[in-house]
Amino acid sequence: MTLDVAGETHRAEKRIRPHIRETPLEPSPYLDRIGRCRVQLKLETFQHSGSFKARGALSKYLSLKDSERQKGIITASSGNHASAVAYVLHRFAGKGTIYLPHTTPKAKVDLLRMYGAELEFHGEFSVETEVHAHKVAQKQGRVYISPYNDLKVIGGQGTIGIELLQRAKTIDSVLVPIGGGGLIAGIGGYLKSVKSGIEIIGCETENSPAMSESVKAGRIIEVPYIPTLADGTVGGLEQGSITFELCRDIVDDYINVSEDEMAHAIRLILEKHSLLLEGSAAMPVAAFLKQKDRFEGKNVVLILTSSKIDLDTLIDILCSSKKLEY
C-alpha cells in the first residue's frame, strides 16, 4: 500500500485544528487494576457532533473547492458520519444531502434533523446506502464524502494519533473499533510512521466482523448480518475500499466481542467513569477485558469513539445486561 497516511494526517491537522476539540485522554484506575497495566481512555465522545467522525468530515469538506461546495455534497452513513457531516454543513452554512439506512437508530435521526440536514433513506445496511448515494452523486456531478473510503477522511481521523503522541509518554497498544476501517487506518497509519513498535488492535463485534474476515480471506467479502449493539460498525465494506489494504498492512491483531461483552462494557464505563458509550464505542473496553492478560505491564490506549446510544437500548442494558466477572 503506497498511500501516505502520515502525510495526509499532517495536512488534515493544518486544515481542521482550528475547528476541532483536542479530546481528553483520561486514566482508568479501575481498568489499570483489572489488567495490571496502565490504561488511558481517548474520549472522542466529547468531539463536536458527539464522535470522532467530525475530524474526517471536516478534513474532506475543507479540502473542497468553492464550486464543489456550492453544488452541495452527498454522503451516506449509519449515523455518526452523517451527524458529523450535518454538523459541518450547519457550521459552514453548506448544502448537502445525507442518505441513511432505514435501520438508523431514532436518536441519531433526531440529531440530524436538529441540525436541519436534508435526509434521504435507502436500504437496510450501510454498504447498500453507500453504493446508492455514490451513484446519485456521480449522476448529479456532486462530491460524495465517504465515511471511510477517502484518504482525506482517513487523514482527519489520524489527527487522533497526533494528539495521543503529544499527551501520552509511552504507548504500547492501541485498541480501536472497526467499521469501514477509516479510523484505525488513520490512527494506526500515523502512529506506526512515528513509532513502528506500537501495537494496533482492531475491535469488532462477533455479529459483523467484516474487516477481519475480509483480511483473512485476502479480499473484501460479505459477512452475514446479525443485529448488534454496535450498529455504527455493521453493514460490510464498499468494494475497492482503500481501507482494506491499509488495515491488512497496519492492524496487528483483531479481537471480536459478543453482545453481552459490549453491554457489560457500556454499563461499566457508565458506572466507573460516568461516561455514556454506544455499542461500537464500547468494543475496545470489551476487547481489553476479554484479553486483559495480554496487556499486563503495558501502556494501553482505548479509543472511545461515540456516545449516541438509543435511550431504550440503554435502559434495556441497565436493566438486563449480565454482570461479567474478570
CB 307 within 8 A of CB 278: yes
Cell of 113: 434533523
Of 145, 175, 195, which residue sits at a domain end? 145
Q: 63-77, 90-104, 151-165, 222-236: lowest mean pLDDT where?
A: 222-236
- Whether residue 75 is found in the same domain as residue 140: yes
Q: Given a cut of 90, is residue 182 above it in pLDDT? A: yes
Q: What is the pLDDT of residues 20-79, one digit of tens each?
A: 999 999 999 999 999 999 999 999 999 999 999 999 999 999 999 999 999 999 999 877
**Given 84, 117, 145, which residue is the final one in a domain?**
145
* Region 274-297 average pLDDT: 97
The answer on 306 and 226 residing in a single domain is yes
Q: Is residue 176 predicted with pLDDT exceeding 80?
A: yes
DSSP symbol at 232? G
pTM over 0.85: yes
pLDDT at site 51: 94
The number of domains in the chain is: 2
Query: What's the mean pLDDT in 188-217?
Result: 95
Per-residue confidence (pLDDT) for residue 138, from 0 to 100: 95
pLDDT for the residue numbered 186: 98
Specify the pLDDT at position 310: 81
| Top-confidence residue, 268 or 130 | 268
Which triple of cell numbers denotes residue 78? Answer: 449509519
CA gap 280, 221 in Å, rounded: 21
Among 100, 115, 145, where does a domain finish?
145
Q: Average pLDDT of 93-122?
A: 88
Q: In what order do the strands lie in the sheet with 299-304?
A: 25-27, 38-43, 299-304, 173-177, 199-205, 253-257
Structural domain for 202, as ranges: 5-52+151-320
Q: In this structure, are residues 12 and 163 in contact, taking their beta carbons and an 8 Å threshold?
A: no
CA-CA-CA-CA torsion sign (223, 228, 230, 234) = positive
pLDDT tops 60 at residue 270:
yes
Question: pLDDT-derived band of residue 105, with 50, 70 and 90 as boundaries?
Answer: confident
Q: Are residues 246 and 121 in the same domain?
A: no
Residue 143 grid coordinates: 462530491
Within-domain flag for 325: no
In tens, the pLDDT along 234-251 reads 767 888 899 999 999 999
* Torsion from C-alpha of 7, 12, 18, 19, nearest 10 degrees: -160
Q: Terminus-to-terminus CA distance in the chain, angstroms?
A: 39
Q: What is the mean pLDDT of the chain?
A: 93
259, amino acid identity: E
Query: Is the residue at 168 inside a domain?
Result: yes
Q: Are residues 174 and 295 in the same domain?
A: yes
The pLDDT, as a whole number, for residue 228 is 86
What integer pLDDT is reported at residue 144 of this predicted model?
Answer: 96
Q: Is position 257 within any domain?
A: yes
Q: Is 210 domain-assigned?
A: yes
| Domain co-membership, 163 together with 58 | no
With cut-offs at 50, 70 and 90, classify the pLDDT of residue 326. low
pLDDT at 299 over 80: yes
Same domain, 58 and 174: no
Here the CATH number for the domain that contains residue 215 is: 3.40.50.1100
Domain co-membership, 209 together with 274: yes
Could you tell me if 104 and 223 lie in one domain?
no
- The answer to whether residue 26 is domain-embedded is yes
Stronger pLDDT, 78 or 150, i.e. the higher one: 150
- Alpha-helical (H) ranges within the chain are 5-16, 29-35, 53-62, 66-71, 80-91, 106-114, 126-140, 151-167, 182-194, 210-217, 242-250, 259-273, 279-290, 311-320
